[in-house]
C-alpha cells in the first residue's frame, strides 16, 4: 500500500504545425496548446489509433504527431490541475480519473479528485465528483442475499486507480471505494459485490453471509483485502477481470458472479495477491492474461508478473523480484513498466531484455531514475513514462528496442542566455539528482564550449561538472549533478553555487540548496 501512495505522490503543448496534422475532432478542442506536456511526472499512457494520451501530475495531455505538438487539458474544460490516476478510451468515450494528496496530521492521504468524461472523443467534457455513498452501513441485495456493505462517504482513501469501458458501462477500481459500475447512458455509480477473503467464488444463487468492506473498525464489519480494488480490465462485455489486494477476480456474466484466483488457492498461482495492473494479449490462436502481481500479506508471496493462457485456471510467473506498474502488448510482444525500467519479451515471458540507459543525443537529455510507470505502443514506437519525463524508442526489424531514444522534458524556458536555474531546489542527493538549466540564446549559430563548476558557501571548489563541452547555440540544456564532489563523496547539507562559463560571454551564476 505504501508503494502506491508513494508512486501517486511522485506522479502527482500545439506550435506552428498545421491543424491538418491533427484529427479533425481536436481542431475544435479547448485544450491549451504547448510545445510539451505540462509535467515531467507520468502515471499512465493510453494509445488509440494515431493519438497517445498521457496522465501527468498536472493533468491530461496528448500528442497526435509523435510529440511534435501537444494539447494539455490542465485548467481547461472541466479540468483543474489535479494529477491523472487513470485513463480509459473506447470508441468516442474517454474517461479520466484524477487524484491528489491531502494532509491528515503528518500523514499524506491519497484522495479521489473525481472523474472527467467525454462522449465525443474529447471535444466536450463533463465532470462528476468522486463517487461516494451516504450513511455508514448499507444493505445490498445480491440474488437471494442481503449483504452488509461499508458506505464510503468521503474521497479520502477513495482514489480511482483504473477504469475499464464496456459497450454500455464504465467500471472503476478505487481502493477504499471498491469496484463500482455505472451505465454510460445514465451516470450513477453502484458498488459491485466481489468475493470476501474467505470465499473463492460467489453467485447470486448461493447462500452468503459476509460484509462488502475494505476495512472493519468500529462499525462491526469484517475487513476484506479482496474489496480493496486497484485494477480492472474488460475482455468483452461479459468477461471482466478485477485486481485487488486479495488476488484476481474474474466474471463471465458481466460482473454478477465471480471467481477469485489468489496465491493461496491454486497449485499454479499468481506470485502475489496485490494486483496493480491487468492486460490481455489477444492473438489468433491464443489469449494470455498478464498481471502485475505484488506481494501482499503472505511472506511466501513475491512481487513479479503473472500470466495465464487458460482463463486463469493456471498461472506462470516471470520477472520475479520486479515491481511492475503497467503492461502493454503488440502482437507477440509484451512490455512491462517496472521500477527497474521497461522490460520487453518476444517469447511470451520466457526471456526479457531491459530498456537500459535512456539518453537522447539530440538534446543531451538523460533519465537518471530507472522507474517506469507507463508504457504505450503505437506502431513500432514504444512510449515510456516515468518521474523524469516522456520518452520513446523504435522497436522494429531495422532498429533494436532501446538502442535510440527521444526524450521530452518540460522546463521553464529562459528569456536569454544570461539566466540559469536549478531544479528540484532544494534537492536530496539520496533521492534524486539536480538539473542545472541554462540557455545558449536564440540568435547565435554554431557551437560554444561550456564549463560548469560547483562551489560551496565559502566559494571553495567542489565539483567540475563539465569542462569545455561543446553545445549547439540556440538551445536550452540541462546538466545533471548527483550531489557528489570530485572525490566521489556526497556533499554535506548547505548552500552551493554553480558557475556556467560560456565561450564569448561573461559567466552566469546559480544557487543550489542540498537538503538530505
List pLDDT tens digits, range 179-233.
999 999 999 999 999 999 999 999 999 999 999 999 987 888 999 999 999 999 9
pLDDT of res. 410: 83
Rounded to whole angstroms, the Cα distance separating 234 from 168 reads 12
With vertex at residue 116, the alpha carbon angle to CA 410 and CA 236, rounded to the nearest 5 degrees, is 105
Q: Are residues 34 and 171 in the same domain?
A: no
Assess whether pLDDT exceeds 50 at residue 29. Answer: no
pLDDT of res. 227: 98
pLDDT of res. 301: 97
CA distances from 391 to 54, 295, 411, 428, 476 (A): 12, 29, 15, 24, 18
pLDDT of res. 472: 87
CA distances from 309 to 3, 190, 349, 478 (A): 29, 31, 12, 46
Digit-coded pLDDT (tens) for 330-373: 999 999 999 999 999 999 999 999 998 999 988 888 898 899 99
Q: Is there a domain that residue 509 lies in? A: yes
Q: Are residues 203 and 114 in the same domain?
A: no
Confidence of residue 376 (pLDDT cuts 50, 70, 90): very high
Q: Are residues 211 and 147 in the same domain?
A: yes
Q: Is there a domain that residue 235 lies in? A: yes
Contact 228, 152 (CB under 8 A): no
CA distances from 105 to 51, 102, 108, 112 (A): 42, 10, 8, 19
Q: Is there a domain that residue 501 lies in? A: yes
Mean pLDDT of 307-316: 98
Residue carrying C-alpha cell 511492475: 324
Mean pLDDT of the chain: 90
Contact 162, 102 (CB under 8 A): no
Digit-coded pLDDT (tens) for 430-487: 888 899 999 887 666 688 899 999 999 999 999 999 999 998 888 889 999 999 999 9
Mean pLDDT of 80-96: 96
Q: Are residues 176 and 316 in the same domain?
A: yes
Confidence of residue 25 (pLDDT cuts 50, 70, 90): very low
Q: Among 367, 386, 410, give the residue marking a domain's end.
A: 410
Contact 233, 244 (CB under 8 A): no
Burial class (CB within 10 angstroms; exposed 0-12, middle 13-18, buried 19+) of 382: buried
Q: Is there a domain that residue 330 lies in? A: no
Contact 276, 292 (CB under 8 A): yes
Task: Single out the residue of 503, 508, 479, 482 nearest to residue 364, CA to CA.
Answer: 479
Q: Which three cell numbers stand for residue 283?
A: 492473438
Asked if the peptide bond before residue 292 counts as cis, ω within 30 degrees of 0, the response is no
Q: Are residues 25 and 115 in the same domain?
A: yes
CA distances from 437 to 72, 86, 364, 368, 431 (A): 23, 31, 12, 16, 19
Q: Are residues 509 and 430 in the same domain?
A: yes
Q: Is there a domain that residue 298 lies in? A: yes
Q: Among 121, 155, 176, give the residue marking a domain's end.
A: 121
Q: Give 487's contacts (C-beta < 8 A, 6+ positions apart).
A: none
Rounded to whole angstroms, the Cα distance separating 376 from 349 reads 18
Asked if the peptide bond before residue 426 counts as cis, ω within 30 degrees of 0, the response is yes
With vertex at residue 68, the alpha carbon angle to CA 391 and CA 40, rounded to the nearest 5 degrees, is 40
Q: Are residues 268 and 209 in the same domain?
A: yes
Separation of CA 430 from chain center:
23
What percentage of residues in the chain have a pLDDT greater than 70? 92
Mean pLDDT of 391-410: 94
Q: Are residues 201 and 314 in the same domain?
A: yes
With vertex at residue 92, the alpha carbon angle to CA 82 and CA 26, rounded to the nearest 5 degrees, is 70
Q: Are residues 154 and 196 in the same domain?
A: yes
Number of structural domains, the chain?
4
Q: Is there a domain that residue 332 lies in? A: no
Q: Is there a domain that residue 246 lies in? A: yes
Give the number of residues written for the chain. 516
Confidence of residue 27 (pLDDT cuts 50, 70, 90): very low
Q: Are residues 88 and 178 in the same domain?
A: no
Strands 186-191 and 211-212 turn out to be unpaired
Q: Among 89, 104, 121, give the residue marking a domain's end.
A: 121
Assess whether pLDDT exceeds 50 at residue 308. Answer: yes
Whole-model pTM?
Answer: 0.85
Task: Single out the residue of 212, 206, 207, 209 nearest to residue 193, CA to CA.
Answer: 212
CA distances from 91 to 55, 78, 309, 369 (A): 19, 21, 27, 35
Assess whether pLDDT exceeds 50 at residue 158. Answer: yes
Confidence of residue 33 (pLDDT cuts 50, 70, 90): low
Rounded to whole angstroms, the Cα distance separating 355 from 337 reads 10
DSSP 8-state class, residue 217: G
Assess whether pLDDT exceeds 60 at residue 17. Answer: no
Domain boundaries, position 105: 1-121
Contact 263, 269 (CB under 8 A): yes
Q: Is there a domain that residue 415 lies in? A: no
Q: Are residues 138 and 286 in the same domain?
A: yes
Q: Are residues 317 and 195 in the same domain?
A: yes
Label residues 182-219 b or e (16+ Cβ within 10 Å = b). Answer: bebeeeebebbbbbbbebbebeeeeebebbbbbeeeee
Amino acid at each position: 500500500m505504501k508503494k502506491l501512495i508513494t508512486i501517486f505522490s511522485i506522479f502527482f503543448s500545439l506550435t506552428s504545425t498545421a491543424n491538418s496534422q491533427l484529427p479533425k475532432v481536436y481542431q475544435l478542442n479547448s485544450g491549451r496548446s504547448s510545445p510539451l506536456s505540462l509535467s515531467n511526472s507520468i502515471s499512465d499512457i493510453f494509445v488509440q489509433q494515431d493519438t497517445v494520451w498521457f496522465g501527468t501530475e498536472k493533468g491530461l495531455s496528448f500528442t497526435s504527431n509523435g510529440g511534435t505538438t501537444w494539447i494539455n487539458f490542465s485548467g481547461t474544460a472541466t479540468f483543474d490541475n489535479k494529477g491523472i490516476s487513470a485513463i480509459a478510451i473506447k470508441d468516442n468515450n474517454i474517461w479520466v480519473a484524477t487524484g491528489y494528496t491531502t494532509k491528515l496530521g503528518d500523514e499524506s492521504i491519497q484522495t479521489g479528485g473525481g472523474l472527467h468524461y467525454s462522449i465525443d472523443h474529447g471535444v466536450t467534457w463533463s465532470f462528476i465528483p468522486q463517487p461516494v455513498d451516504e450513511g455508514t452501513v448499507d444493505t445490498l441485495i445480491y440474488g437471494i442475499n442481503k449483504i452488509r456493505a461499508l458506505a464510503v462517504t468521503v474521497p479520502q482513501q477513495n482514489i480511482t486507480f483504473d477504469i475499464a469501458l464496456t459497450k454500455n458501462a464504465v467500471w472503476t477500481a478505487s481502493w477504499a471505494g471498491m469496484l463500482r459500475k455505472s451505465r454510460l447512458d445514465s451516470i450513477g455509480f453502484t458498488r459491485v459485490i466481489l468475493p470476501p477473503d474467505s470465499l473463492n467464488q460467489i453467485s447470486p444463487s448461493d447462500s452468503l453471509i459476509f460484509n462488502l468492506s475494505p476495512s472493519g473498525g468500529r462499525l462491526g464489519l469484517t475487513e476484506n483485502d479482496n474489496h480493496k480494488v486497484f485494477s480492472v480490465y474488460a475482455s468483452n462485455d461479459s468477461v471482466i477481470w478485477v485486481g485487488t489486494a486479495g488476488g484476481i477476480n474474474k466474471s463471465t456474466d458481466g460482473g454478477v458472479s465471480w471467481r477469485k484466483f489468489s496465491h493461496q488457492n491454486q497449485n499454479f498461482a499468481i506470485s502475489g495477491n496485490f494486483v496493480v495492473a491487468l492486460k490481455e494479449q489477444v492473438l489468433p490462436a491464443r489469449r494470455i492474461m498478464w498481471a502485475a502481481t505484488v506481494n501482499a500479506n503472505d511472506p511466501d508471496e513475491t512481487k513479479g508478473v503473472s500470466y495465464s493462457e487458460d482463463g486463469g485456471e493456471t498461472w506462470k510467473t516471470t520477472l520475479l523480484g520486479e515491481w511492475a506498474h503497467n503492461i502493454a502488448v503488440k502482437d507477440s510482444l509484451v512490455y512491462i513498466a517496472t521500477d527497474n525500467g521497461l522490460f520487453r519479451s518476444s517469447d511470451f515471458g520466457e526471456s526479457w531484455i531491459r530498456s537500459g540507459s535512456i539518453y537522447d543525443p539530440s538534446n543531451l537529455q538523460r533519465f537518471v531514475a530507472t522507474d517506469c510507470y507507463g508504457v504505450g505502443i503505437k506502431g513500432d514506437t514504444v512510449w515510456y513514462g516515468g518521474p523524469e519525463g516522456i520518452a520513446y524508442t523504435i522497436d522494429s526489424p531495422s532498429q533494436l528496442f532501446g538502442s535510440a531514444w527521444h526524450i521530452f522534458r518540460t522546463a521553464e524556458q529562459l528569456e536569454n542566455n544570461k539566466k540559469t536555474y536549478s531544479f528540484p531546489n532544494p534537492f536530496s542527493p539520496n533521492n534524486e539528482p539536480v538539473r542545472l538549466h541554462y540557455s545558449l540564446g536564440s540568435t547565435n549559430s554554431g557551437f560554444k564550449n561550456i564549463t560548469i563548476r560547483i562551489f560551496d558557501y565559502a566559494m571553495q571548489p567542489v565539483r567540475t561538472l563539465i569542462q569545455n563541452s561543446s553545445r549547439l547555440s540556440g538551445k536550452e540544456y540541462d546538466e545533471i549533478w548527483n550531489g557528489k564532489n570530485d572525490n566521489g563523496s556526497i556533499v554535506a547539507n548547505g548552500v552551493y553555487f554553480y558557475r556556467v562559463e560560456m565561450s564569448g560571454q561573461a559567466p552566469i551564476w546559480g544557487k543550489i540548496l542540498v537538503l538530505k
